[in-house]
Structure 1
Amino acid sequence: MLHLRRFARPSTLALAILLGMQGGAWAQQPPAETAAPSSKAPLPLDELRTFAEVLDRIKAAYVEPVDDKTLLENAIKGMLSNLDPHSAYLEPEAFAELQESTSGEFGGLGIEVGMEDGFIKVVSPIDDTPASKAGIEAGDLIVKIDGQPTKGLSMMDAIAKMRGKPGSSISLTLVREGGQPFDVKLTRAVIKVRSVRSQILEPGYGYLRVTQFQVNSGEEVGKALAKLKKDNDGKKLNGLVLDLRNNPGGVLQAAVEISDHFLTKGLIVYTKGRIANSELRFNADPADASEGVPLVVLINGGSASASEIVAGALQDHKRGVVMGTDSFGKGSVQTVLPLNNDRALKLTTALYYTPNGRSIQAQGIEPDIKVERAKLTREQAADGFREADLAGHLGNGNGGPDRPTATQIASDSPRPQDDDYQLGQALNLLKGLNLTRGQ
């Protein structure tokens, strides 16, 4: 079991904390009227008078009538939007969508987004969704949605525009790596995210892909590890690749559980904030579902938040080699504070730290071995000849079979590592580690 030590009242966190780009890291707390006041500082009377004066001037002089409800809600949104990119005022629909997103099924394009220079930036497309099938990549800037510029649009508003009825069409205008804008047409779908996948890459070597951290992802990883051993004829694996690339985050508890599958002791992650109940510590259980298998963890710029918790914990404990490119760098925790009218505040309340005390915020996880993404080209075996191709060649004195050029042409079905340079390098590293260990 996971060990959780809290430094405040244990009843204040009612839902799982979440870490991710769209939903942030959140925990539901009691409605506002039951929460203890956080400060007894006097009200800023001069500023409140100014606020009331501005409200009155807008109502009296704005070109079109504006009701008090709209003005006050806009004021609340303004307060939240100027704190940091992840704090927000959630109206009923947005609050419901945030809660829905952890279940693994929701409507939309299958794209996680953040903000950069006032534009909407793709953090990562989700596997097997309209976004990933259309070729949208992490780092793409969304400059228009259905022809309307996104500059100045809030992230919540942009998400609302991209969501819609399954089967309806949408056009996104993207800019990739400073190039020219281009349009991508997509059809919205019901997004059913399968967060954990696994397979045997080669005899003895497994592959475990986690696309999001959902409520049940920790349990699914445990099942996947057991299945990989079964698929390996019941034998312990010689090596495993844990792929967290383009994983935007999700439920903190799932990140802790997945880390715990590979660790047998020590701290996994801790959080620190101004309020007492924002300080949490999570420790590993002695059980080892991975059986100490040699491990390579793949990350990239689309690996954010909960992904960085896992990569940072395994890196600090020297449990595995982290390979790829620098991660996104989201190290903050958001808490959802429900209000009385089906609305909520999503407020940044803490930062999280790796076991060695590293804050990932705005820096990210730096891989132990940097491997950039690359396109693979293959040298055709038919372009040359080998000794075994020559008529009358001498036989092999060791008794091994001849290997002419024709036998080098692969006839098997494509493997993931054949077209994925980073994955191929991870597999090669695992093989090298086993060679040096005499296996």
Structure 2
Amino acid sequence: MLHLSRLTSLALTIALVIGAPLAFAAQPAPAVAPAGTAATSKAPLPLEELRTFAEVMDRIKAAYVEPVDDKTLLENAIKGMLSNLDPHSAYLGPEDFTELQESTSGEFGGLGIEVGSEDGFIKVVSPIDDTPASKAGIQAGDFIVKINGAPTRGQTMTEAVDKMRGKIGQKITLTLVRDGGTPFDVTLARAVIQVKSVKAQLLESGYGLIRITQFQVKTGEEVSKALAKLRKDNGKKLNGIILDLRNNPGGVLQAAVEVVDHFITKGLIVYTKGRIANSELRFSATGKDESEAVPMVVLINGGSASASEIVAGALQDQKRAVVMGTTSFGKGSVQTVLPLNNDRALKITTALYFTPNGRSIQAQGIVPDIEVRKAKITNEADGDYFKEADLQGHLGNGNGGADKPTGSGGKPKAMPQDDDYQLAQALSLLKGLSITSGR
């Protein structure tokens, strides 16, 4: 199973790739041995290091302040072996593996935040829309310094996540630090997180917004439905589309490929490179573009990662969309989940992915075509200007049509772009692209 979530958190919002790559993931351990020479596979065991390992185990069992059984020591050794490879490789015990599998449905228990680790602290990378975390006002970049009063500094990611999990409805208090300010508490209730992968709406007549919160198994199918809904609501062909991938942590590789496939007619979408034969994958468009080639803007930011970067990078390289916002997260590696005995699994990094033009996003991210930073919009009320139509005895319009005196426009309906500077700028650009393309 190819897995593209950028974080080490195993219990909150991990996505799992299933479908075609499943056979590869389910192969036994020898299938993932490095594809090298015969000499490599017959390399002698590191006997000296194994003797040291056995000696350390004996010393711990003999001298540690409390008794420790062999199973605990060996599992901890395996966890250390995986966790020290890179931030995304991990050993999954039965509970973690079950949670990983369940998360592909888009429904799981928790608070609704993607978390990472920075300088020994737990950092919020992105809250998920319509979850307890987002409703409580938790923001990307917040540091979680305490959980129910217990400091998080020095805790492992798994330990912190375990403390944030619990019974549905049970309350938890997080102590947060934002932008180096004074710590403050946020109390929220754990809930079953039902992530709505895709949302769509018309921003104005002819201009649609599709927001993807994360890439799940059915995200490609949901985007197809969203495009159909926008066309139906608009009543005719759209003039332009905004694809909002901000704070999208990634997820299923195949879903990202399917999303891009809805917007291009031909060409490469993404390819991966690794040390084993099965990690060399290429994905190309199937020619089922459902967007009718209308002008397009993709919004990204520092919370856009992994599968989000695949989509943005592909549409950027294929000259299909203008990418706007700020540089993305930079998670360009692919994880494969390898089931073991006793309901356990390994999640290990097996490849890097590349955009159609051969760019590796790892630790660099997608740089937007037009940088637009987040800003606060302050709307000033227009004055009630006196107009020609207010004058007594004014002439009528020679071409017909009703007069438009002061106040005839009415109060406009509140829309998402009213309070979202980046979205407002994307819509303005989209209108310009639509005009210059003759739509």
TM normalised by structure 2 equals 0.90
Distance 1:238 1:31, change over 3 A: closer
Could you tell me which amino acid in structure 2 is paired with residue 95 of structure 1? F
Deviation at 1:40, TM superposition (A): 2.5
Contact 1:221-1:258 within 8 A present in 2 as well: yes
Distance 1:388 1:184, change over 3 A: farther
Aligned equivalent of 2:211: 209
2:176 is equivalent to residue 171 of structure 1: no
**Cα distance in structure 2, aligned partners of 1:119 and 1:404:** 59
Q: Closer, same or farther in 2 for the Cα pair 1:17/1:75, shift >3 Å?
A: closer
- Alpha-carbon displacement from aligned partner over 1:39-66 (angstroms, at most 9, x marks no partner): 3321111111111111111111111111
Partner of 2:37: none
Shift of 1:297: 0.5
- Residues 53-102 of structure 1 show CA distances to partners (whole Å, capped at 9, x for unaligned) of 11111111111111111111111111111111111111100011011111
Does 117-126 or 341-350 show the bigger shift?
Answer: 117-126
Once residues 164 and 33 of structure 1 are traced to their aligned partners in structure 2, the CA distance between those partners, rounded to angstroms, is 34
Which residue identity does 1:321 align to in structure 2? V
Indicate conservation of the 8 Å contact 2:2/2:336, yes or no. Answer: no
Q: Which residue of 1 aligns with 2:44?
A: 42
Partner residue of 2:286? 285
- Asked if structure 1 preserves the Cα contact closer than 8 Å seen for 2:302 and 2:328, the reply is yes
- 1:5 match: none
Specify the alignment match of 1:374 in structure 2: 375
1:220 partner letter: E
Partner residue in 2 for 1:152: 154
1:200 Cα shift?
A: 1.2
- Pick closer, same or farther for the CA change 1:344–1:378 going to 2, 3 Å: same
Matched with 1:421 is 421
- Aligned counterparts, 1:264-343, within 5 A: 264-343=265-344
Give the residue type in structure 2 aligned to 1:279.
E
Q: In the superposition, relative to structure 1, how do residues 404 and 36 fare at CA in structure 2: closer, same or farther (>3 Å)? A: closer
Segment of structure 1 superposing worse, 307-316 or 62-71:
62-71
After superposition, the CA RMSD in angstroms is 2.1
CA contact (8 A) 1:303 1:328 kept: yes
Establish whether residue 30 from structure 1 lines up as the match of residue 26 from structure 2: yes
TM superposition shift of 1:389:
9.0
Please give the per-residue CA displacement for 1:248-277, whole angstroms capped at 9, x wherever unaligned.
Answer: 111100000000001111110011111111
Structure 1 residue 160, shift from structure 2 partner: 2.0
Q: Give the Cα separation in 2 of the matches to 1:389 and 1:57.
A: 93
Partner of 1:70: 72
Q: Distance in 2 between matches of 1:76 and 1:16?
A: 21
* AA in 2 matched with 1:435: I
Within a 5 Å distance, the mapping from 1:90-129 to structure 2 comes to 90-129=92-131
Question: 1-side partners of 2:96 and 2:312: how far apart?
Answer: 30
Greater shift after overlay, 307-316 or 133-142? 133-142
User: Does the 8 A contact of 1:388 with 1:402 survive in 2?
Assistant: no
Q: Deviations over 1:151-171 (max 9, x none)?
A: 222222222221221100111
> What does residue 229 of structure 1 align with?
231
Q: Is residue 163–residue 188 contact of structure 1 (8 Å, CA) maintained in 2?
A: yes
**Partner of 2:144 in structure 1?**
142
Identity of aligned residues (%): 72
Offset at residue 397 of structure 1 (A): 6.9
Separation in 1, partners of 2:96, 2:3 = 17
Contact 1:321 1:368 in 2 (8 A): yes
2-structure distance, mates of 1:411, 1:36: 62
Q: Distance in 1 between matches of 2:170 and 2:76?
A: 30
Per-residue CA distance 1:209-237 (angstroms, 9 max, x = gap)? 1111110110111111111111111x211
Residues 207 and 243, structure 1, Cα contact 8 Å, conserved in 2: yes
The residue type equivalent to 2:139 in the other structure is E
Residue correspondence of structure 1 range 182-193 to structure 2 within 5 A = 182-193=184-195
* Of 311-320 and 270-279, the range deviating more from structure 2: 270-279
Q: Which moved more, 1:28-37 or 1:428-437?
A: 28-37
Deviation for aligned residue 1:332: 0.7
How many equivalent residue pairs? 422
Larger deviation, residues 15-24 vs 77-86: 15-24
AA of the residue aligned to 1:30:
A
Kindly provide the amino acid, as one letter, of the partner of residue 436 in structure 2: T
- Residues 15 and 103 of structure 2 are in contact (CA less than 8 Å); yes or no, is this contact kept in structure 1? no
Given that residues 111 and 133 in structure 2 are in contact (C-alpha distance below 8 angstroms), is that contact kept between their aligned partners in structure 1? yes
- SS at 1:161 equivalent: helix
Q: Output the CA distance in 2 between the equivalents of 1:405 and 1:43.
A: 86
User: What's the counterpart of residue 252 of structure 2?
Assistant: 251
Q: CA deviation at 1:245?
A: 0.8
For residues 15 and 46 of structure 2, what CA distance do their matches in structure 1 show?
A: 30
SS at match of 1:121: strand
Residue aligning to 1:365 = 366
Inter-partner Cα distance in structure 1 for 2:177 and 2:374: 19
Q: Give unpaired runs (5+ residues) of structure 2.
A: 35-40
Look up the match of 1:349.
350
Question: SS at the partner of 1:98?
Answer: helix
Distance 1:397 1:193, change over 3 A: closer
Aligned equivalents of 1:36, 1:415: Cα separation in 2: 50
Deviates more, 1:283-292 or 1:172-181: 172-181
Tell me which residue corresponds to 1:86: 88
